[in-house]
Amino acid sequence: MRVPLSDPVREFRDVRDEVLAAVGEVLASGRYILGETVDAFEQEFARLVGVSHAVGVASGTDAVELALEALGVGPGDEVVTTPFTFLATATAIMSTGATPVFADVRPDTFNIDPDAVAAAITHRTAAIVPVHLFGQMVDVDALGAIADRHGLPIVEDAAQAFGATRVAADGSVAHAGGVGVAGAFSFYPTKSLGAAGDGGIITTDDAAVAERLVRLRNHGRTATGVHSEPGHNSRLDAVQAAFLSAKLPVVERWTERRLEHAAAYGAALSDVPGISPPVADAGNRHIFHQYTVLCHGRERVLQAMADAGVSAAKFYDPPVHRLEALEGRDWRTDGCPVADELSTRVLSIPVFAHLTEEERDRVVETLVASGSLQPG
């Protein structure tokens, strides 16, 4: 039995008729860029996140970059972010001309450590970009207090966290993408809400930010023949919006299925020596975009699982601040030892919604039998 880490084809089969009908309407309309289909998707997405505005763009990377640009972040600025994420979070910051400053992460949730963020802030800091990693929200209360104290905007990288929530200190429920001044989402095909290609969206409650984002994504255009600033070519196309809209009604069902898988994994792995299941903060609804354990002897475990036909992955090794692409740059950092350590031990196993129970049992069986019981 071969078990994939994810399977977009199974998702498509689940909503095939709805997707084909929605996409067919767009193709028949001849309106393929922006338009009513994109408008409708943006409005529904904003409603689900609990914000007033959502602006579709071409990718999750563009979502982070354009959100920062809309807030005025640029050359000479610093943006505090996590080193334990995909490279795109840092390169989106760099694309504005700003410099990413890496603050270390917590060893339990893998999310950015608010104390490290506070220590990284200087007079050059222009924004904070936390990542809701693997589907779990960061400590938004602590980060919000730091941001307020320094007068800084938070741009949430929520690429992996659509549907994640956290109970705030005042008892209200905060949604990923609805806490900061802006939230950036990715619709990469393997995300919890994935497109048939690339796509992204930016959420905000700030009407002025939303208005500028609408200009920035479309060459700075304000009206036909009128361009108030250079802008970008970063528009969510109508076919992708239709594809995503057809999935929206079932995303919650898929999320609940991932939560079932996660609970089963937690029960099966909680007492296994050498393996530490993921930790969810109290009050957090972790949606498990990835189910990521800590294990001893990871390379041996990975090879054993591959030999058994069970897919697994290591995110993120090396962490961003040690990637070759960023070598030779003058990053200001006090070091990120927790991220360095995690990068050698984390292991993500299949948790996608359409994973079967038989496949899930196979994952557990293979992981436990792989030799992870002995430290290495």
Q: pLDDT tens for residues 269-309? A: 998 888 999 999 999 999 999 999 999 899 999 999 999 99
- Please check the confidence at residue 375 and state whether its pLDDT lies above 70: no
The pLDDT of residue 376 is: 46
Q: pLDDT tens for residues 234-274? A: 999 999 999 999 999 999 999 999 999 999 999 999 988 88
Distance of alpha carbon 158 from the chain centroid: 4
pLDDT band at residue 372 using 50, 70 and 90 as cut-offs: low
- Please check the confidence at residue 371 and state whether its pLDDT lies above 90: no
The pLDDT of residue 329 is: 66
The pLDDT of residue 327 is: 74
- The rounded distance, in Å, linking the Cα atoms of 354 and 365 is 19
Q: Mean pLDDT across the stretch 6-15?
A: 97
pLDDT band at residue 223 using 50, 70 and 90 as cut-offs: confident
- Please check the confidence at residue 332 and state whether its pLDDT lies above 90: no
Beta strands in 67-124 (DSSP E): 78-81, 99-102
Q: pLDDT tens for residues 92-133? A: 999 999 999 999 999 999 999 999 999 999 999 999 999 999
Strand-pair partners of 221: 227
The pLDDT of residue 258 is: 98
- Please check the confidence at residue 333 and state whether its pLDDT lies above 60: no
pLDDT band at residue 226 using 50, 70 and 90 as cut-offs: confident
- The rounded distance, in Å, linking the Cα atoms of 74 and 69 is 7
- Please check the confidence at residue 194 and state whether its pLDDT lies above 50: yes
Q: Mean pLDDT across the stretch 8-15?
A: 97
Q: pLDDT tens for residues 45-63? A: 999 999 999 999 999 999 9
Q: Mean pLDDT across the stretch 217-228?
A: 85
Contacts of 149 (CB under 8 A, 6+ apart): none
Whether the Cβ atoms of residue 59 and residue 186 lie closer than 8 Å to each other: yes
The order of strands in the sheet holding 155-157 is: 53-57, 200-204, 182-186, 155-157
CB atoms within 10 A of CB 213: 27
The pLDDT of residue 326 is: 80
Q: pLDDT tens for residues 61-95? A: 999 999 999 999 999 999 999 999 999 999 999 99
The order of strands in the sheet holding 165-167 is: 173-175, 165-167, 284-285
Per the structure block, which two tokens stand in for 285?
A: 């609804």
Whether the Cβ atoms of residue 336 and residue 83 lie closer than 8 Å to each other: yes
Whether the Cβ atoms of residue 128 and residue 155 lie closer than 8 Å to each other: yes
- Most distant pair of Cα atoms in the chain: their distance: 67
pLDDT band at residue 374 using 50, 70 and 90 as cut-offs: low
C-alpha R_g of the chain: 21
Contacts of 178 (CB under 8 A, 6+ apart): 49, 50, 51, 203, 205
